[in-house]
Amino acid sequence: MFSIILKQILKYKYYILFFLIFWIISGTFIYQNRYKFLSYIYHLTSSIPEAGKSNPKKAYNDYFKPAINILQENQVDLLLMAKLCPKQIQTHILEDREYEWDFLKKYNFFYFDKNYIFNNSYIYWKDKQPYLLEALTYLKEAIKYAYEIPANITEENKNILIPYILQQTYDALCFPDEAKIYWKDYIEYLEFNTYNQKINNNLPYPKEWDLELLNHLIDDAKYHFAIFQFTGKTIPFQLIENCQNKSFFCTHLQEINDYWNRLIYTTSFPYTYHLFLSHARLYLIFFQKTQNQHYLYLALDRYKGAMEYRETQIDAYLETAYVFLLLNQPENSLKILESFASIKPKRFLQESFYYEILYKTLTALKRYKEADCFKSKYLDTSECKYIRENF
């Protein structure tokens, strides 16, 4: 019996060998790409909308409602849970809630509000975490079908912005940066739809398409809100010296810079002044990481724009002087500080920074006697008082 089988194998050995080699090669390829194949099969069976399209009814009924029910039935307060996160994580959770809620209320968007549960212990966070993770599973499915759900199909009679709901959920789980990918996808969704609906495809150059696209997105509130959520609404000056490599912002500088350029282009005056100030600081972070002075000149250009607006001019003047010091141009730094003296209020929050920049500038110019008067603003000699009052 064995000899008969062996003879048959030898008779068809080339076919069997070919089959084995084919199976090994194809099997290896299938195994290495198994997740892509499974994802492809999943997309075929789940009827997920094509790019630019959506199915808000399915997103709401099959996924958003179950997620909300889980959170409401188990009294999960997402804002409280976010406040129970470690301090270093809370710094990455966007603090500009007033701007967020103004936007959400203006456009009738749903958001999680306080439940007024007075429990500030970690035990509350730990007890509610499983329910939040269960709700998150539904929300991650919901966004596959729609980024926005119109109010006319919701029981809450409110529009629903799924990326924001995911942001609040990840904030509560103490992983705020995990929601960034959804904001980026939403930005691309808005750009894709604008492009398909309004752009003239006969324009000869791709750059013209991009410019036309941004022209159609000027003052688009949802577009701006999505970019702010992805990048952060402001860039604090303190971040320049302490940009941690592990933070999302500091590891995605080029991407954030691209979005800030789009944001400035699509924003009307006078709202651009704050953007100019933050964008200048972004260029200073680039300089700190690369030591390329080109970024300092880009920062100076942005600071010029911020100087024209009363709310940003103090920061813009002082930080411009700081940039000239980095460029080893103390004479230009002094010119800026002298210009600032003409508009300087009697009291301002940045006063200690002002004295620090003055001290460094005068020292660099070898005007040591005057510089010593600004080394400490509490130096009370009559001569120093006169110098400070008349500078």
Instruction: Report the alpha-carbon distance of residue 298 to residue 282 in Å, rounded.
Output: 10
Question: Higher pLDDT residue, 87 or 40?
Answer: 87
User: Cβ of 193: how many Cβ atoms within 10 Å?
Assistant: 15
Q: What are the pLDDT digits (tens) for 95-135?
A: 566 778 889 999 999 988 776 656 667 889 999 999 999 99
Q: What are the residues whose beta carbons fall under 8 Å from the beta carbon of 92, sequence distance 6 or more?
A: 176, 177, 247, 248
**Residue from 51, 47, 50, 64 nearest 153 by CA:** 64
Q: Identify the pLDDT of residue 116.
A: 60
- Asked if residue 270 has a cis previous peptide bond (ω within 30° of 0), the answer is yes
User: What length does the chain have?
Assistant: 391
The answer to whether position 384 is within a domain reads: yes
Closest of 347, 269, 271, 282 to residue 314, by C-alpha: 347
Tens of pLDDT, residue by residue over 301-337, are: 999 999 988 889 999 999 999 999 999 999 999 999 9
What does the pLDDT read at residue 262? 94
Q: pLDDT per residue over 134-159, tens digit each?
A: 999 999 999 999 999 999 999 989 99
Task: Please indicate whether residue 198 or residue 52 has the higher confidence score (pLDDT).
Answer: 198
What confidence score (pLDDT) does residue 62 get? 95
Residues 203, 206, 211, CA angle at the centre, nearest 5°? 80
3-state class (DSSP) for residue 42: helix
The letter for the amino acid at 137 is T
Q: pLDDT per residue over 17-67, tens digit each?
A: 777 787 788 777 777 776 565 555 544 444 555 555 679 999 999 999 999
Report the pLDDT value the prediction gives residue 220, as an integer from 0 to 100: 92
Residue 310 lies in a domain: yes
Count of domains for the chain: 2
Mean of pLDDT values over 175-182: 93
The mean pLDDT of 176-199, rounded to a whole number, is 90
Is the residue at 304 inside a domain?
A: yes
pLDDT for res 30: 75
Angle between helices 382-389 and 368-375 (to 10 degrees): 90
Residue 202 tokens read as 């006969």
Q: What is the pLDDT of residue 369?
A: 83
Is-contact 298 284, C-beta < 8 A?
A: no
- For position 346, which CATH number holds? 1.25.40
Asked if the model's pLDDT at residue 380 lies above 80, the reply is: no
Res. 2: pLDDT tops 80: no
Residue 1 binned pLDDT confidence (cut-offs 50, 70, 90)? low
Compute the average pLDDT of residues 188-196: 89
Cα–Cα distance between 320 and 299 in angstroms, integer? 8
Give dist(CA 351, CA 344) in Å, integer: 10
Alpha-carbon distance 252 to 49, whole Å? 29
Range in 162-171, 192-201, 284-293, 371-380 with the lowest mean pLDDT: 371-380
Identify the pLDDT of residue 203: 60
Most confident of 84-88, 199-203, 224-228, 380-384: 224-228
User: What is the Cα Rg of the chain in Å?
Assistant: 29
Q: Is residue 346 part of a domain?
A: yes
Residue at 34 is within a domain: yes
Q: Is residue 79 one of the residues assigned to a domain?
A: no
Task: Report the 10 Å Cβ neighbour count for 367.
Answer: 13
Where on the phi/psi map is residue 54: left (φ > 0), alpha (ψ -120 to 50), or beta?
beta
| Residue pLDDT, tens place only, 214-243 | 899 998 999 999 999 999 878 888 888 778
- Whether 224 maps to a domain, the answer reads no
Query: What's the rounded mean pLDDT across residues 172-199?
Result: 90
Answer whether residue 320 is part of any domain. yes
Number of H helices, E strands in the chain: 22, 2
SS3 212: helix
- Quote the domain boundaries for residue 257: 234-391
**Nearest to 148, CA basis, from 190, 196, 181:** 190
Report the C-alpha gap between 108 and 151 in whole angstroms. Answer: 8
pLDDT for the residue 42:
47
Tokens for 321, please give them: 């002087």
pLDDT given at position 150: 95
